Amino acid sequence: MNGFEVYKIYLAIKLHFTSKTEVTTFIDTADEQLQNLKPSLKEGTDIFFTNLVALITALLWSITLLVTLSIILIYGLAIYWLNW
């Protein structure tokens, strides 16, 4: 998934909740918000959403690593205390 796809989903969700129509589905909203890649590159939105996806991915990897290392540390300390 690239930044432009995330941007289209963001616009679809935004229009869905700010729309005045009675029935708006995600697919209809996504079709209405479909935009070309060139204008989004001019505005810099593609770069922003690409960086946002990279930031969220790095944050999730960091949290996963922190939880894994914490579990290993707690388990290692428990073994150390039981053998002492």
Q: pLDDT tens for residues 20-47?
A: 555 555 555 555 666 555 565 566 666 7
pTM of the model: 0.46
Q: What is the CA radius of gyration of the chain?
A: 22
Angle 16-17-19 (CA atoms, 0-180°, nearest 5)?
A: 65
Question: Residue 18, exposed/middle/buried by CB under 10 A (0-12, 13-18, 19+)?
Answer: exposed
Cα 70 off chain centre by? 25
Q: pLDDT tens for residues 52-84?
A: 888 888 999 999 999 999 999 998 888 777 777
Angle 42-51-67 (CA atoms, 0-180°, nearest 5)?
A: 170
Angle 23-24-29 (CA atoms, 0-180°, nearest 5)?
A: 165
Q: What is the pLDDT of residue 40?
A: 59
